[in-house]
Amino acid sequence: MNNVTHIKNDLLKDGYYKIKHDSGLTIIVFPKEDYATSYAVFGTNYGSIDTVIKTSDSENPTSIPEGTAHFLEHKLFESEDLDAFERYAKTGASANAYTSFDKTCYLFSCSENFKESLEILLDFVQNPYFTQQTVQKEQGIIGQEIKMYEDVPDWQVLFNLLKIIYHNHPVRIDIAGTVQSISQITDKVLYDCYNAFYNLNNMVLAVSGNVTTEEVLEVANRLLKPSKDIKIEREVALEPCEVVDNYIEQKLSVSMPLFNLGFKESYDTPQRNLKEQICTRIILEIIAGDTSPLYKELFSQGLINTRFGSEYFAGYGFATVIFAGESKDPNEVSKRIKAEIKKIKQQGINEDEFQRIKKMLYGRAIMGYNDVESIANELVSCHFEGYELFDEIDVFKSITIEDVNQRLTQQLDEDFSALSVILPA
Domains and CATH numbers, the chain: 3-223 (3.30.830.10), 247-424 (3.30.830.10)
pLDDT in tens, the chain (425 residues): 688 899 999 988 999 999 999 999 999 999 998 899 999 999 999 999 999 988 887 778 899 999 999 999 999 998 777 789 999 999 999 999 999 999 999 999 999 999 999 999 999 999 999 999 999 999 999 999 999 999 999 999 999 999 999 999 999 999 999 999 999 999 999 999 999 999 999 999 999 999 999 999 999 999 999 988 888 888 888 899 999 999 999 999 999 999 999 999 988 888 899 999 999 999 999 999 999 999 999 999 999 999 999 999 999 999 999 999 999 999 999 999 999 999 999 999 999 999 999 999 999 999 989 999 999 999 999 999 999 999 999 999 999 999 999 999 999 999 999 999 999 99
pLDDT of residue 57: 78
Q: How far is CA 55 from CA 28, 195, 235, 416, in A?
A: 25, 11, 11, 34
Q: Are 110 and 93 in contact (CB under 8 A)?
A: yes
Cα–Cα distance, 259 to 160 (Å, whole number): 10
Which of 66, 73, 138, 392 is the catalytic position? 73
Distances (CA, A) of 373 to 38, 120, 180, 369: 8, 19, 36, 10
Instruction: Judge whether 73 counts as a catalytic residue.
Output: yes
What percent of the chain is helix, strand and coil (3-state, nearest 5)? 45, 20, 35
The torsion region of residue 48 among left (phi > 0), alpha (psi -120 to 50) and beta comes to alpha
For residue 178, the tally of other CB atoms under 10 A from its CB is 14
Q: What sections of 150-245 are H helices per DSSP?
A: 153-165, 179-182, 187-197, 213-223
pLDDT given at position 322: 98
Instruction: Give me the chain's average pLDDT, please.
Output: 94
Opening angle at CA 122, ends 116 and 125, nearest 5: 135
Checking 385-391 for CB contacts under 8 A at 24+ apart, the result is 385/271, 385/274, 386/271, 387/274, 388/7, 389/7, 389/16, 389/30, 390/7, 390/8, 390/9, 390/12, 391/274
Tell me the C-alpha to C-alpha distance, in Å, between residue 229 and each of 56, 102, 289: 9, 20, 45
- Tell me how many degrees the CA angle 77-78-81 measures, rounded to the nearest 5: 130
Q: What is the spatial distance between Cα 67 and Cα 174, in angstroms, rounded to a whole number? A: 8
Q: Which of 304, 306, 74, 284 is nearest to 194 (CA)?
A: 74
pLDDT of 257: 98
pLDDT in tens, 145-180: 999 999 999 999 999 999 999 999 999 999 999 999
